Amino acid sequence: MLAEGILLVVLGTTSPVAPSESVRWAQVRVGISREQVSDILGEPLMRNAARGYERWVYDDGCEVQFTRGEVTAWTAPKGAPPAAAPLSRRDPAPGARRT
């Protein structure tokens, strides 16, 4: 009985992202404000802030990074559609041309 409960917990953590959650994360974009992120994703589990940089932590290792109050990067849940923004300042946005 205990083993079945543990198996369910383990299987539950690897399940795909729910469609509604996937749609919410797809709305996150570089440049949107903290208020917009809060409206889209809800309140984070934890916030870290220092010198113009802020990081919001959500379930499943998901994060949103802000610089001077605007989104600069994020980590969406596993199984969510690919980000529509660079993962770092060195990476071009998907579909962007390199010069």
Residue 53 lies in a domain: yes
Residue 34 lies in a domain: yes
Give the residue from 37, 17, 18, 35 showing the smallest Cα distance to 27: 37
- Average of per-residue pLDDT across 77-98: 58
- Average of per-residue pLDDT across 53-76: 95
- Structural domain for 57, as ranges: 30-80
Residue 90 lies in a domain: no
Q: Give residue 15's pLDDT.
A: 47
Q: Give residue 97's pLDDT.
A: 57
Residue 87 lies in a domain: no
| Count of domains observed in the chain | 1
Check pLDDT > 60 for residue 42.
yes
Pairing between β-strand 70-75 and β-strand 53-57 as defined by DSSP bridges: unpaired
More confidently predicted of 1 and 45: 45
Residue 74 lies in a domain: yes
Residue 69 lies in a domain: yes
Residue 51 lies in a domain: yes
CA–CA distance, 60 with 77 (Å, rounded to integer): 7
